Structure 1
Amino acid sequence: MEWFGFALAFVGFFLGHSVPVRPPFRPILVRMLGPAGFGAAYSALSVAILAWLIMEAQRAPFVLVWHWAPWQNHFVLATMLPVCLIVALSVGRPNPFSFGGARNAAFDPARPGIVRLARHPLLVALALWSGAHLVANGDLAHVLLFGTFFTFALFGSRHVDRRKRREMGQRWDLLREKVLARPLGDALFPPSRETVLRIASGVAIYVILIALHPIVIGVDPIP
């Protein structure tokens, strides 16, 4: 029974992420909430379930898998800055290739932004976040937690690609070819005012997370 809460949160995580996006629930919810409302509601549900799962992982019995070392904190701190930047550059921007894109009809393949680097930037951020925290948390509950997220992020892009290709048909391939034709520098340059603001927001989020981590999570990330 000591693991019941953690197991229940895991079940809630998988149900919360799979049921709303499958027929017949997704079409019904989109009609009720609209595409933007559905995206906002789904994101809010995902964050709430994630918070619940992290809380239950902290409550689970401690079973050591590997020992902690000071370098692991530095590794997490170094990884979390690009995570925050990727999130800041991705959220609320058009991205017809992935989930969570906003105003996808306005996507311009000649100015793809961060989509030039990755079709699924939020999954890249999730992989970096979970991979770094997996290294730094060697107890069984957190290994299961972050290991699951890491695996989900690595293989989730294939699932999203298949679903989007079914939905978009030939347009998916045409857009992808146009995006890949752009130089890699198009991801950040020339730096528009919006890009600069997003980068500044990413740095601010990074600082805020470091400040709040010992209060919310109970662990100070600064060695």
Structure 2
Amino acid sequence: MALLILGIALWVAAHLFKRLAPEARANMGNAGKGIAAAGILAGLVLMILGYRGAEFIPVWSPPAFLTHVNNLLMLGAVFLYGMSATTGRLRGKMRHPQLTAVKVWAVAHLLVNGDLASIVLFGSMLAWAVVEVIVINRSETWDRPKPGPAKKDLVLVIITLVMFVVITAIHSWLGVNPFGG
């Protein structure tokens, strides 16, 4: 559990550093981007290792039907995450599609994982995404992107479906059946 918590702390610190200490970050120049990226990557690796190695301590038993709710939410999370990269009509509808995707992802996983390590990981990521949105909204104005062609949104739907299949395949490969059973 210590690696998991350390990974979460590193992830959060690396992401928030730019906005909470902008002068210090600016003084670092381009090296600061590399340091932040390394901190984020190290945090991610520590979270994965810590989560996979954490003792299973049951807190609650999720009902089986929540698996279906999770999968629908995850399809939405993948779509939202992709919105940030699209140039279609939908992109300008939401200011923080990636962070919204993290929130949806975290809630979806909290619904189907009732162990302590899952609650720590997914609860922390949910809290981080909420705080990140608040900090960004307070520190930056948003210039809404102009809508692009609707066909780009259709491409986003196709990419979402492909990525959802890839993500479920990876979960299965790791020994987690995302469809229950």
Using the size of structure 2 for normalisation, the TM-score is 0.81
Structure 2 counterpart of 1:27, one-letter code? A
Query: For residues 125 and 11 of structure 1, what CA distance do their matches in structure 2 show?
Result: 20
Q: Deviations over 1:21-48 (max 9, x none)?
A: 533453245x4379xxx4x985675355
Counterpart residue number, 1:69: 63
Equivalent in 86, 92, 113 of residue 115 of structure 1: 92
Counterpart residue number, 1:148: 124
Structure 2 counterpart of 1:13, one-letter code? W
Counterpart residue number, 2:154: 196
Structure 2 counterpart of 1:10, one-letter code? I
Moved more, 202-211 or 62-71: 62-71
Query: For residues 58 and 212 of structure 1, what CA distance do their matches in structure 2 show?
Result: 14
Check conservation: 1:13, 1:49, Cα contact below 8 A.
yes
Call closer, same or farther: CA 1:213–1:87 in 2, change over 3 Å. Answer: same
Residues 1:59 and 2:42 aligned together: no
Moved more, 50-59 or 75-84: 50-59
Q: Which has the larger radius of gyration?
A: 1
Equivalent in 129, 134, 140 of residue 105 of structure 2: 129
Q: Name the % identity.
A: 25
Aligned-pair CA distance for 1:76: 1.2
Aligned-pair CA distance for 1:20: 5.1
Query: For residues 41 and 84 of structure 1, what CA distance do their matches in structure 2 show?
Result: 27
Moved more, 18-27 or 55-64: 18-27
Where structure 2 has 5 or more consecutive residues not aligned to the other structure, the ranges are none
RMSD value over aligned CA atoms?
Answer: 3.0
Aligned-pair CA distance for 1:155: 3.5
Counterpart residue number, 1:85: 79
Where structure 1 has 5 or more consecutive residues not aligned to the other structure, the ranges are 94-110, 166-171
Query: For residues 12 and 133 of structure 2, what CA distance do their matches in structure 1 show?
Result: 16
Query: For residues 92 and 24 of structure 1, what CA distance do their matches in structure 2 show?
Result: 31
Moved more, 20-29 or 118-127: 20-29
Structure 2 counterpart of 1:50, one-letter code? L
Check conservation: 1:115, 1:121, Cα contact below 8 A.
no
Structure 1 counterpart of 2:11, one-letter code? F
Structure 1 counterpart of 2:132, one-letter code? G
Equivalent in 1, 7, 10 of residue 8 of structure 2: 10
Count how many residue pairs are aligned between Structure 1 and Structure 2.
179
Structure 2 counterpart of 1:222, one-letter code? F
